[in-house]
Amino acid sequence: MKSIKIAVLIPCFNEAVAIGKVVADFRACLPAAEVYVYDNNSSDGTALVAATAGAMVRREALQGKGHVIRRMFADIEADAYVLVDGDDTYDAAAAPEMVRLLLEEHLDMVNGQRNVAGEETQAYRRGHRMGNRVLSGLVRMVFGDRIRDMLSGYRVFSRRFVKTFPALASGFETETEFTIHALDLMMPLAELPVSYRERPAGSASKLRTYSDGLRISRTILVLVKEERPLQFFTLAGVLLMLLAIALGFPVVTAYLKTGLVPRLPTAVLSTGIMMISFLSFACGLILDSVARARKEAKRLAYLAIARWGA
């Protein structure tokens, strides 16, 4: 590990209460690592506290965690990247084991699976936990059952992962992108339980339960459409076909009995929906070939980057 360059990346927005301890803890647990704090327009002195604690402080003007991640991954060169939130909810003592696992097992991502003592904490409330289970379950169903905690903010990445990650999200949905990027390219990865605790007194969460949950759900839906178009458009086609059958069945039944079409608008609507369902199947087949070509290009770009080292 001594010959490996390690960077600890901490995105921050108004975390002056916690960031000093976070920086100190990671400097103690990973003494050879460089600790970077990216301040995202904080108004509470976060940057000054981080710099005083010994971190290299940089700034990102575009608001949102996804923007900060994009800037970090573009700017910083390292062999192993430890990404952690600046709110002191994750245990820095787990970082050496996560880095060791990444290096010795030649992995591209080690995910910190949050382990909470007790049923209810302010850090990981029951509603958030349930939402994570539902969203993680959906991703496992579509992309493979390899990650249990899709929305963890504590991860370790290889250089190969970081330099081929597209980073298209702007906010908290970036964790979803991490997971699907790794699963879709079938990268070697692991998950390690880490303790998760409440924020320190005076620190406020930036997570907006419903709006961020909707954004994450939308991100999953868009990524399923982009990466699994055949399944996405086949499902859409089946649903449209069932709707067309439900609308058209009474019309067909009446025609067979009387020879008349009493509800012409319904018949036309049903026929149109049925045509759209077949078009959806055709779109799925075409876009599946496009998605396969994109995946091959991403895989080649991934293989062109050394796992660590320049």
Per-residue pLDDT of 60-69, as tens digits, reads 999 999 999 9
Q: What mean pLDDT do residues 135-150 have?
A: 83
Rg (CA), the chain: 24
Residue 142 host element (H or E): helix 126-143
86-109 burial: b if 16+ Cβ within 10 Å, else e:
bbbbbbbebbbebbeebbeeebbb
Classify residue 226 as exposed, middle or buried by CB count within 10 Å of its CB (0-12, 13-18, 19+): middle
Q: What does the pLDDT look like over 290-307, one tens digit per residue?
A: 999 999 999 999 999 887
Residue 256 confidence (pLDDT):
84
Average pLDDT over residues 129-139: 75
Mean pLDDT for 16-31 is 95
Query: Which two three-digit tokens encode residue 121?
Result: 């904490």
CATH number of the 6-227 domain: 3.90.550.10
Tokens of 22: 């976070």
- Given CA atoms 174, 176, 177, 183 in this order, what sign does their dihedral have? positive
Look up tokens 């900060």; give the residue: 68
**Would you say residue 36 has pLDDT above 60?**
yes
Q: 53-100 pLDDT, tens per residue?
A: 999 999 999 999 999 999 999 999 999 999 999 999 999 999 999 999
* Under 8 Å between Cβ of 43 and 14: yes
Supply the pLDDT for residue 127: 53
Asked if the model's pLDDT at residue 120 lies above 50, the reply is: no
Q: Which of 57, 50, 103 is nearest to 78 (CA)?
A: 103
Q: Per residue in 235-282, pLDDT tens?
A: 999 999 999 999 988 888 888 888 888 888 888 999 999 999 999 999
| pTM of the predicted protein model | 0.82
Eight-class DSSP state of 94: G
Mean pLDDT comparison of 120-124, 141-145, 194-198, 274-278, highest-scoring range? 274-278
- Which pLDDT value is given to residue 164? 94
Question: Which CA distances in Å does 75 have to 7, 58, 146?
Answer: 11, 10, 29
Higher pLDDT, 14 or 134: 14
Domain boundaries, the chain: 6-227, 229-303
Q: What is the pLDDT of residue 254?
A: 87
* Per-residue confidence (pLDDT) for residue 125, from 0 to 100: 56
pLDDT attached to residue 124: 54
Query: What tens digit of pLDDT does each residue of 150-209 get?
Result: 889 999 999 999 999 988 888 778 888 999 999 999 999 999 999 998 888 776 676 666
| Residues 6 or more apart whose Cβ sits within 8 Å of residue 210 | none
